[in-house]
Amino acid sequence: MLVLLGAFAILVIVGTPVAIAMIGSAGLVIGMEGIPLALVAQRVFAGLQSFPLLAIPLFTLAGSLMNESGISERLFGFTRAMVGHIRGGLAQTAVVGNVFLAGISGSSVADTAATTRVLVPQLERNGYSRGFGAALSAASATLGPIIPPSILMVLYAWQANVSLGNLFIAGIFPGIIMAGAMFLVIVILARVRRYPTSGAFSGSALWTAFKRAIWALLMPVIIIIGFRMGAVTATEIAGVAALYSALVGIFIYRTLHIGRIPHILATTARETAVILMIAGAASPFSWILGIEQAPQLVVSTVSAITDNPWMVLLILNIALLILGMFVETIAIMIILVPILIPLLTAMQIDLVHFGIVLLVNLVIGQLTPPVGVLLFVSMTIAKVSMGQILREVWPFFLGLTIALLFITYIPSISLWLPSLIGPN
């Protein structure tokens, strides 16, 4: 196990892609043990033969179609009509708009790109700095994997063998808590920096914006109702989202041109390949950890420190936040979840609740350098430096960390709605 982890760490440090680092380190150990290297390929393919994983390319496609068809612009127009009249209201538009976007794309990266392209120029024209706009776009996009549907939820449900439907429902209130934390951060900054309003509230303007965005707003509603009525499974939701985005963009908004479909499909294939390569590469890596009894070692080590579930959650939160600074989000999930499941079971920590805690940790990690993917996406599109965006993102990081504590230590935030609606 030391050889496996040591080789993996060295490969990552020297800049090797995570998927290659996992396969390389696993292959090294398997070769040292005299096991045929064909086992690596067998484990990779076995790790990808799972029905829930079909949702990943479809959710990615839905996010690409959403950005291409202008759905995000209409949603932000509607949310600006809702909250633009308050001080700092244009900044609040990013948070409220991402609540809606999260119910469509399921991807924080797609939401960051959409928010940055649409809102940063508007924010700059209204007296906000580009650095603030980029930081706000990245922070508000953390709602993408928390408010359902979510690609990361698909991966966690597959690994932890929990109901994807319950996990989807469990993310709604935590997402609202995170949005509320960022809303309060903007309220404070708006008063300190005297950010402007975007004009007086107008009921007629709100109604006009609502009519323009109605088809985009209906998408989460249709998905949830279809799911609750049993018309689609949790995995099939991804297909519905992609089909709906395409139909709205082509036939209703008429902003999605048929000629762009091949480009969108190629982009989706590239983004999906990155995720599934990591998922497949993790299979032989996790197999070796299991053979070496890494889960049992984690249980015994943590149990020797404390048997209090709340302290265990605190230790895991700290460890996950630190790991999020240095390791890619999906890699953390795929490597750690199989190891942590026995510990969580021994401590009687609900796996659905921990799934939400894990996801919140991971999306906060996307805001922290040196591997803060949302920061890189936003700063590239907004054309700002890393220093500019880091100076502005820390209040949002603090607000989201406080929200994480509430979500961690008040399990009912995650579990009340699933228990009310019933099992799926």
Q: Is the pLDDT of residue 424 over 60?
A: no
Q: Could you tell me the end-to-end alpha-carbon distance of the chain, in angstroms, rounded to an integer? A: 37
Measured between alpha carbons, how far is 213 from 382 in angstroms, rounded to an integer? 25
For position 83, what pLDDT does the model report? 87
Flag the least confident range among 148-157, 247-256, 290-299, 358-367: 290-299
Q: What b-and-e string marks burial along 209-231, b requiring 16 or more CB atoms within 10 Å of the CB?
A: beebbebbbebbebbbeebeeee
Using alpha carbons only, what angle is made at residue 253 by residues 252 and 255, rounded to the nearest 5 degrees?
Answer: 130
Flag the least confident range among 105-109, 267-271, 301-305, 306-310: 105-109
Q: Is the pLDDT of residue 220 over 90?
A: no
Considering the entire predicted model, what is its pTM? 0.83
Percent above pLDDT 90 for the chain: 24
Residue linked to tokens 């009310």: 420
For position 359, what pLDDT does the model report? 95
Query: Reduced to 3 DSSP states, what percent helix, strand and coil does the chain have, rounded to the nearest 5?
Result: 80, 0, 20
Q: Is 208 exposed, middle or buried (0-12, 13-18, 19+ CB in 10 A)?
A: middle
Q: Is the pLDDT of residue 382 over 60?
A: yes
> Residue 354 — pLDDT band, cuts 50, 70, 90?
very high
Q: What amino acid occupies position 222?
A: I
For position 186, what pLDDT does the model report? 94
For position 133, what pLDDT does the model report? 93
341: tokens are 């499941």
pLDDT tens-digit series, residues 114-131: 888 888 888 888 888 999
Q: Is the pLDDT of residue 96 over 70?
A: yes
For position 30, what pLDDT does the model report? 85
Measured between alpha carbons, how far is 73 from 67 in angstroms, rounded to an integer? 9
Measured between alpha carbons, how far is 10 from 237 in angstroms, rounded to an integer? 39
For position 280, what pLDDT does the model report? 81
For position 422, what pLDDT does the model report? 63
Q: Tell me the mean pLDDT in the region 175-180.
A: 95
Task: Judge contact between 242 and 62, C-beta under 8 A.
Answer: yes
Measured between alpha carbons, how far is 331 from 157 in angstroms, rounded to an integer? 15
Q: 128: Cβ–Cβ under 8 A, 6 or more apart, which residues?
A: 90, 91, 195
Percent above pLDDT 70 for the chain: 96
Q: Tell me the mean pLDDT in the region 76-80.
A: 88
Q: Is the pLDDT of residue 371 over 80?
A: no
